[in-house]
Copies of this chain bind each other. A is one copy, B any other.
Amino acid sequence: MKKYVVAIVGATGAVGTQMLACLEEQQFPVGALKLLASPRSAGKVVSTPWGEVTVETAAPEAFDGVDIVLGAAEDDVAKALYPEAVRRGAVVVDNSHAFRLDEDVPLVIPEINAADALQHKGIIANPNCATIIGLVPTWPLHQLAGVKRMIVSTYQAASGAGVPGMRELEEQIGCMGRGEEIPAPAAFAAQLASNLIPQIGGEKYQGFTSEEMKMQNEGRKIMHLPDLRVNCTCVRVPVLRSHSESVTLEFERDITLEQAREALASAPGVKLVDDLAAESAHDRWPMPLDTTDQDLIWVGRVRRDISNPDALRGITFWCCGDQIRKGAATNAVQIAKLLCE
């Protein structure tokens, strides 16, 4: 079996670290591994399943001889470096927002549009975390009845702001627990512990934020639905690393609740947890604590949208997924695996 030289960019961050773990878990055929990061992290030695690896500065020449790049860096780094990696013959799976809506760049959730990945011209984009977590369970329902409208309210974890976001929330909880004053926030615009912050990303379109518009704009591209309409409200909640979403869908065609449940129960990447009568709370509905550090999107509270005047064309559900894994690293490694098949 062919083995690949793999480089992770942003290797020391929350997503980069998880990408490394996912390579092993998904038994990716790694021949050699390069860990790239900012000069601040260069020189650090990381113990990996492929031996001890010294972190190098992410620079164009670092991509010489690399087959596959997993990008977990910010937009500006992505824009500066990945075309250089492609020029040197690498294929880049990029988790940043830099190239997601570029016409030449496939935007891929393997459970939905794996074939798109093979049309790449060197760069494949990994979608936004909230988009992945919302679309994985929407897709099997769309295949049944054609989704035309989504109304989504998110409950997004601190990990969306990386390690600094998680540390800030943990520090604030620590202060509350010890009865100490909470320091001024830095990773977030306001205190997150025991609070909610109803803005993620800057203002983008008609009062919607960049994060909110991703669900529509990335969703249209991934599902090949140029007319999909999405109203999304993104809210940061004091949860460590699983995003949750309350999703209401409107369909072109009728869909029964039984059809919806069956489709979700058998959909790849989805775990249906939907039994209000279950003895244990963990079997009743998805919760962020239960979906942390695993790869499936858990879906529950599946029911008719009783507000939809078209009684058979609305479905509402609740879903949770690990933001660092399926929302980022797992999906990226899944895409990379498509390239090896």
Contacts and interface: CB of A to CB of B under 8 A. Distances in A.
A220 interface: no
A145 interface: no
A45 B238 CA distance: 38
Contacts of A285: 198-199
A182 B209 CA distance: 36
A288 interface: yes
Contacts of A198: 244, 246, 285-287, 300-301, 318
A73 interface: no
Q: How large is the interface on A (under 10, 10 to 19, 20 to 34, 35 or more residues)?
A: 35 or more
B306 A229 contact: yes
A305 interface: yes
A196 B239 contact: yes
| Number of this chain's copies in the complex | 2
B303 A206 contact: yes
B231 A305 contact: yes
Given A177-B177, A177-B178, A284-B189, A307 B229 contact: yes
Contact of A281 (B175, B176, B189, B246): B189
A151 interface: yes
A78 interface: no
A195 B233 contact: no
A144 to B, nearest CB: 18
Interface string A154-182: 01000000000000010001111110000
Given A151-B151, A303-B206, A196 B244 contact: yes
A233 B208 contact: no
Central interface residue in A237, A277, A314, by most chain B CB within 10 Å: A237
